[in-house]
Amino acid sequence: MALLLAVMTLLTALQVLLRYAFNTGFLWSLEATTYCFAWLVLVGMSYGVRTHSHIAIDVLVNRFTPSIQRMFGLAVILVCLVYASLMLFGAAEFVHRLFVLGNDARDLPVQRWLLTIILPFGFGLLFLRFFQAGLAIWRGQDSES
């Protein structure tokens, strides 16, 4: 994730420098930055779940007993698993269609499906992390999720 952020930052800074100092630039820089950002977000989602750095609004839930908190946690994990599953299957279908069509990216000389393969990968990883979090709650090993 740090590498993607560094690439985005350097590419954007270089583009600004070229545009304002030399009145030129790269045609492909915006698209490259956009795909780097998408990869960063899609990998970062599962990392946030794994490290418990996601936002948790638990003011109401903390007022209940631990067993009810556990039930709330499992219910939320179930909703998240359904969401990740739907996104995973939709993303896989989208990438498959791009593969069949053979579309190239707009400004990059790369097949578009190669750039969007992160969609099913990212949501699959997110599903895995939510499943792991659900197992931890089920076993009583985790109270932070």
Domain that holds residue 68: 2-138
Number of domains in the chain: 1
Q: Is residue 24 domain-resident?
A: yes
Residue 72: name the closest of 143, 9, 1 by CA. 143
Q: How confident is the model at residue 143 (pLDDT cuts 50, 70, 90)?
A: low
Give the E-state strand segments of the chain in sequence order. Answer: none
CA 28/CA 69 separation, integer angstroms = 49
pLDDT digits (tens, 9 = 90+) for 106-125: 898 999 999 999 999 999 99
pTM of the model: 0.84
CA 91/CA 105 separation, integer angstroms = 17
Q: Is residue 144 domain-resident?
A: no
The residue that leads in pLDDT, 5 or 55, is: 5
Q: Is residue 145 domain-resident?
A: no
Q: Is residue 110 domain-resident?
A: yes
Q: Is residue 125 domain-resident?
A: yes
